[in-house]
């Protein structure tokens, strides 16, 4: 890199830190520290957990926002380089123009500056310029003479008449209007303040079955700035499917009049006829430029920006749902029976040991049409006894409630029974990961194993499945797929590292999401484990192929070793701070294990005594909290649940009925609740509580057990409306 470019890069870093600090409301010093760590390859979970002194204790969300803004600014800097190079090659670069571009850090403003110089297709204005008519357009804008008289001077072989010359001048003025920064800001401001989004049904599709799900939008109009993410995405999906026509509009007449006033400033007070003729011509050109070029351009801009905002909101909701799902309560290391229920094909049953290894699988047929309840009961009883089953996980799909009832009848209350979401289990069972884990088993066995393991540790199992297949998002196929993948990967990484990973039992897939690892190092860790046996210390990680000092620094604190010789190896205390903990124990005249086990020793520690330039109070406080409960799992304890026995299908529902349910999905407009009838009901945001609710996640969370009241049952559209309000129950 040249000295000039290195200097420019340093200047850009300083500019970036200042801009990001202003945009996010974070102190510039915090941003600078975070950017430095990110540039050196540190991951977001590592920075948030182990570098609080450098960032001023920023959390993962803030660090991720800084990283995102930094990437956007880097892309903008590249775009500026391209624009400067293009304009320079055209021979149109000036010192003033270069300074404007250098000082601009807003994408929209930058593109407005570039627009007049941007290479275009062969436009009407370009044709007129090639005919030599640009000077005529300039003269008309100045109002210096009668249009017909001045146009006569431009009549030639290329331009055979005054009318053609004037039309060419109008085309040039129209394009000038559409590319003018002030004009664009005027129209952009009108869209920002007053734009409406409108949807109409395509008449030929109105009566089709596929159009009915969009019936709410057959004749729809609302202010764009008030249009919620889910409504906008629904309209855009209907448009993509050819059911709806969607556009964004403002008051065209008002916008044109405002533009005309701007462009005839020097002429509008003149009584001279020829100048009034110029005004008329300019007015016509402005109206044409607005209708044909400027308005469609700004409409497209707002269509894109509103879609981007809707995408961001939908992805945010999806990511939050995914986080809650991944952090669902685990049963823990128990011997589990997993059952994938079914009628015609029977129920596939698997027995797993406490580490999730497959011990046995079988099929039972307690339901019609085969119906062999006696044989099924005997098989079930024998498997529970032989494999010492401590809990049973039953998928929540077809025949779930019937299977749960049968198992309860056979086993009574001797074994805990849980209903588990099987969303995505079929995707996992046919995946490469499942084939590698169980090459000799078919998809039904793999699916039942996934159900059983989800009960033991939802996080460890769900990371193997594409989040879009887990069933907690909405419009996930309509949003920007790159943005969605990045956000969901970041969410999975955050969840995995917040819980921590057992180094001796974790799969390659789970290890992949540990800070600083990735697929290659995760595989190397498992290969080392297979060859050398279980890890006995974190220090052994340094012997893993290609796992160097940087990767060790990033990952070590998130990996746990049960029953390690050093108790800190089963905690979130980073190895770089082991010496500090040992010094604290030494000063108290005890061992590290005593410091962990005895609260009376910990309360005697004066943290201020151990503050240094490298270690501040935030890190010391984290260390003491971790010593209090090393390796603590942040997830809640699991709870059993029972659906109301009165209802098994939508036909059993009666308005006013009060039922127990489980929250299965959360959107901006409410929450979906499983009440045991094979069709989730919707609790609209207005029905979530007796008070006003702006965000459903303030009231409910995934897998929460709730009491709901049936409001309405639409059997034709298979829709159930529910309420969680207490009054009237």
Model pLDDT for residues 88-118, shown as the tens digit of each residue: 999 999 999 999 999 999 999 999 999 999 9
Arithmetic mean of pLDDT, 458-481? 86
In tens, the pLDDT along 649-665 reads: 899 999 999 999 999 99
pLDDT at 142: 85
| Ordered DSSP codes for 382-431 | HHHHHTT--EEEEESSTTHHHHHHHHHHHHTTSSEEEEE--TTHHHHHTS
Query: Rounded to an integer, what distance in angstroms lies between the CA atom of residue 493 and that of residue 514?
Result: 7
pLDDT at 575: 97
pLDDT at 2: 46
Helix axes 181-194, 162-179, angle to 10 degrees: 60
In degrees and rounded to multiples of 5, residue 671 shows phi and psi of -130, 140
Those residues whose C-beta lies under 8 Å from the C-beta of residue 122, and which sit 6 or more positions away, are: none
Beta 347-352 vs 358-364: how paired, if at all?
antiparallel
Nearest residue to 334 (alpha-carbon basis) of 416, 411, 400, 410: 416
Q: Kindly tell me the sign of the dihedral angle through the C-alpha atoms of 169, 171, 173, 179.
A: negative
pLDDT at 527: 97
Query: Two tokens at 623?
Result: 């260390």
**3-state class of 693 per DSSP?**
coil
Query: Rounded to an integer, what distance in angstroms lies between the CA atom of residue 125 and that of residue 174?
Result: 8
Beta 705-714 vs 658-667: how paired, if at all?
antiparallel
Query: Two tokens at 727?
Result: 């009054």
Q: Kindly tell me the sign of the dihedral angle through the C-alpha atoms of 430, 436, 442, 445.
A: negative
The Cβ of residue 329 has, within 10 Å, a number of other Cβ atoms equal to 15
Among 5-9, 20-24, 36-40, 676-680, name the one with the lowest average pLDDT: 5-9
In tens, the pLDDT along 607-649 reads: 999 999 989 999 999 999 999 988 788 888 888 888 888 998 8
In tens, the pLDDT along 324-359 reads: 999 999 999 999 999 999 999 999 999 999 999 999
Share of the chain above pLDDT 70, in %: 96
Query: Rounded to an integer, what distance in angstroms lies between the CA atom of residue 369 and that of residue 135?
Result: 87
Those residues whose C-beta lies under 8 Å from the C-beta of residue 309, and which sit 6 or more positions away, are: 229
pLDDT at 1: 45
pLDDT at 727: 55
pLDDT band at 466 (very low <50, low <70, confident <90, very high): confident
Arithmetic mean of pLDDT, 413-421? 90
> Do the Cβ atoms of 190 and 234 come closer than 8 Å?
no
pLDDT band at 563 (very low <50, low <70, confident <90, very high): confident
> Can you say whether residue 175 is alpha, beta or left, with left for phi > 0 and alpha for psi between -120 and 50 degrees?
alpha
Query: Two tokens at 189?
Result: 């401001």
Query: Rounded to an integer, what distance in angstroms lies between the CA atom of residue 487 and that of residue 467?
Result: 11
Nearest residue to 191 (alpha-carbon basis) of 294, 111, 286, 115: 294
pLDDT at 553: 97
> Can you say whether residue 665 is alpha, beta or left, with left for phi > 0 and alpha for psi between -120 and 50 degrees?
beta
Nearest residue to 299 (alpha-carbon basis) of 171, 220, 187: 187
Query: Would the pLDDT of 728 be above 60?
Result: no
> Do the Cβ atoms of 362 and 383 come closer than 8 Å?
yes
Query: Would the pLDDT of 272 be above 60?
Result: no
Query: Two tokens at 506?
Result: 């974790």
Arithmetic mean of pLDDT, 556-585? 96
In tens, the pLDDT along 3-20 reads: 444 444 677 888 999 999
Nearest residue to 136 (alpha-carbon basis) of 155, 160, 116: 155
pLDDT at 10: 73
Count helices and strands (H / E) in the chain.
30, 15
Q: How far is CA 28 from the centre of its chain?
A: 26
pLDDT at 120: 84
Arithmetic mean of pLDDT, 548-569? 96
pLDDT at 354: 94
Query: Rounded to an integer, what distance in angstroms lies between the CA atom of residue 696 and that of residue 673?
Result: 13
Among 40-44, 157-161, 397-401, 637-641, name the one with the lowest average pLDDT: 637-641
> Where do the H-state alpha helices sit in 40-180?
44-50, 52-55, 60-89, 95-103, 107-114, 124-130, 134-142, 147-152, 162-179
| Ordered DSSP codes for 230-257 | HHHHHHHHHHHTTSEEEEEE--HHHHHH
In degrees and rounded to multiples of 5, residue 40 shows phi and psi of -90, 5
pLDDT at 631: 79
- Residues present in the chain in total: 729
Query: Would the pLDDT of 573 be above 80?
Result: yes
In degrees and rounded to multiples of 5, residue 590 shows phi and psi of -140, 180
List the Cα angle 59/329/324 in 5-degree steps: 45
In tens, the pLDDT along 696-727 reads: 989 999 889 999 999 999 988 889 999 999 85
Among 139-148, 370-379, 528-537, 554-563, name the one with the lowest average pLDDT: 139-148
Mean pLDDT, all residues of the chain: 92
> Do the Cβ atoms of 545 and 528 come closer than 8 Å?
yes
Global confidence as pTM: 0.87
Query: Any idea what DSSP says for residue 101?
Result: H
In tens, the pLDDT along 85-94 reads: 999 999 999 9
Query: Rounded to an integer, what distance in angstroms lies between the CA atom of residue 61 and that of residue 246?
Result: 34
Nearest residue to 136 (alpha-carbon basis) of 158, 121, 112: 158
């Amino acid at each position: 890199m040249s000295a000039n470019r290195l200097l420019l890069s340093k200047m850009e870093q300083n500019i970036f830190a200042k801009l990001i600090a202003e945009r996010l409301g974070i102190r510039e010093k915090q941003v600078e520290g975070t950017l430095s760590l990110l540039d050196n390859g540190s991951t977001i979970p590592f920075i948030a957990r182990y570098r609080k002194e450098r960032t001023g204790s920023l959390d993962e969300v803030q660090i991720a926002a800084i990283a995102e803004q930094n990437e956007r600014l880097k892309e903008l800097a590249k775009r500026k380089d391209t624009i400067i190079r293009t304009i320079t090659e055209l021979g149109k670069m000036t010192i003033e123009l270069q300074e404007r571009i250098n000082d601009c850090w807003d994408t929209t403003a930058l593109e407005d500056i570039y627009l007049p110089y941007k290479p275009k297709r062969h436009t009407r204005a370009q044709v007129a310029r090639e005919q030599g008519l640009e000077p005529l357009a300039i003269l008309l804008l100045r109002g210096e003479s009668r249009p017909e008289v001045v146009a006569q001077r431009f009549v030639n072989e290329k331009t055979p008449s005054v009318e053609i010359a004037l039309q060419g001048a109008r085309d040039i003025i129209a394009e000038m209007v559409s590319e003018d920064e002030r004009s664009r800001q005027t129209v952009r401001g009108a869209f920002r303040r007053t734009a409406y989004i409108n949807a109409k049904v395509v008449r030929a599709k109105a009566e089709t079955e596929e159009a009915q799900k969009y019936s709410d939008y057959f004749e729809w109009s609302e202010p764009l700035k008030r249009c919620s993410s889910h409504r906008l995405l629904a309209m855009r999906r209907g448009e993509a499917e050819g059911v709806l026509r969607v556009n964004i509009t403002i008051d065209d007449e008002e916008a044109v009049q405002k533009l005309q006033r701007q462009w005839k400033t020097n002429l509008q007070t003149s009584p001279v006829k020829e100048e009034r003729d110029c005004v008329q011509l300019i007015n016509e050109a402005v109206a044409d430029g607005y209708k044909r070029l400027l308005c469609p351009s700004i409409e497209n801009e707002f269509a894109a920006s509103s879609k981007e905002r809707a995408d961001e909101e939908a992805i945010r909701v999806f990511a939050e749902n995914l986080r809650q799902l991944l952090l669902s309560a685990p049963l823990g290391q128990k011997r589990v029976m997993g059952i994938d229920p079914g009628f015609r094909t029977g129920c596939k049953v698997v027995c797993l040991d406490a580490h999730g290894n497959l011990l046995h699988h079988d099929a039972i047929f307690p339901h019609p049409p085969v119906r062999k309840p006696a044989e099924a009961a005997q098989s079930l009883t024998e498997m529970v006894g032989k494999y010492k089953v401590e809990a049973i996980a039953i998928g929540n799909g077809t025949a779930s409630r019937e299977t749960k009832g049968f198992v309860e009848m056979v086993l009574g209350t001797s074994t805990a029974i849980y209903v588990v979401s099987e969303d995505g289990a079929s995707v996992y069972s046919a995946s490469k990961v499942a084939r590698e884990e169980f090459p000799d088993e078919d998809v039904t066995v793999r699916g039942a194993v996934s159900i059983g393991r989800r009960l033991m540790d939802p996080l460890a199992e769900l990371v193997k499945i594409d989040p879009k297949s887990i069933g907690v998002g909405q419009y996930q196929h309509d949003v920007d797929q790159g943005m969605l993948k990045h956000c969901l990967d970041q969410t999975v990484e955050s969840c995995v590292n917040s819980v921590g990973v057992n180094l001796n039992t974790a799969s390659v897939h789970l290890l992949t999401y540990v800070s600083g690892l990735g697929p290659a190092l995760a595989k190397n860790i498992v290969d080392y484990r297979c060859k050398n046996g279980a890890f006995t210390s974190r220090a052994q990680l340094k012997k893993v192929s290609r796992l160097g000092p940087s990767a060790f620094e990033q990952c070590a604190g998130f990996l746990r070793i049960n029953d390690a010789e050093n108790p800190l190896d089963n905690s979130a205390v980073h190895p770089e701070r082991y010496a500090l903990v040992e010094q604290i124990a030494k000063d108290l005249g005890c061992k590290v294990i005593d410091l962990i086990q005895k609260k009376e020793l910990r309360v005697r520690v004066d943290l201020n005594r151990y503050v240094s330039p490298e270690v501040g109070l935030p890190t010391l406080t984290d260390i003491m909290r971790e010593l209090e409960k090393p390796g603590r799992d942040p997830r809640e304890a699991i709870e059993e649940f029972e659906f109301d026995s009165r209802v098994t299908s939508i036909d059993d529902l009666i308005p006013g009925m009060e039922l127990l349910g489980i929250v299965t999905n959360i959107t901006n407009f409410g929450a979906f609740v499983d009440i045991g009838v094979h069709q989730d009901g919707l609790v609209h945001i207005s029905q979530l509580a007796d008070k006003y609710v702006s965000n459903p996640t303030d009231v409910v969370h995934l897998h929460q057990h709730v009491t709901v009241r049936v409001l309405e049952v639409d059997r034709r559209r298979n829709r159930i409306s529910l309420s969680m309000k207490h009054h009237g129950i």
